[in-house]
Structure 1
Amino acid sequence: MTERHETLLTFEYDTAARATTVEASLRPEIDDIEGDRTRASLARDGGSVEITIEAADLVALRAGQNTWLSLMAVAERCAVPGSK
Structure 2
Amino acid sequence: MDAGTDPDRADDAGGPVGRDAPAHDDLVHDAVLRFRYPDERHARLVAGAVGVEVGEIDDDRSAATVDRAGDEVVVRVRAADLVALRAGLNSWRRLVGVAEDVVGRAGGDPGRVR
Q: Please state which band the TM-score falls in when normalised by the shorter chain.
A: over 0.9
- Does residue 37 of the first structure (1) align with residue 61 of the second (2)? yes
Match 2:97 to one of 60, 73, 82: 73
Q: Deviations over 1:9-42 (max 9, x none)?
A: 0000010000000001001100211111000001
More strand, by proportion = 1
- Does residue 5 of the first structure (1) align with residue 29 of the second (2)? yes
What's the Cα RMSD here? 1.1
More helix, by proportion = 1
Match 1:61 to one of 60, 63, 85: 85
Residue 8 of structure 1 aligns to a residue whose secondary structure is: strand
* Number of residue pairs matched by the alignment: 84
Residue 101 of structure 2 aligns to a residue whose secondary structure is: helix
Residue 32 of structure 1 aligns to a residue whose secondary structure is: coil
Residue 55 of structure 2 aligns to a residue whose secondary structure is: helix
Match 1:46 to one of 58, 65, 70: 70
Q: Which amino acid aligns with 1:50?
A: V
Question: Which structure exhibits the higher relative contact order, with contacts defined as CA atoms closer than 8 Å and separated by 6 or more residues?
Answer: 1
Normalising to structure 1: TM-score of the pair?
0.94
Runs of 4+ in structure 1 deviating by more than 4 angstroms, as ranges, are none
- Does residue 14 of the first structure (1) align with residue 38 of the second (2)? yes
Normalising to structure 2: TM-score of the pair?
0.70
Q: Structure 2: 5+ residue runs without aligned partners?
A: 1-23
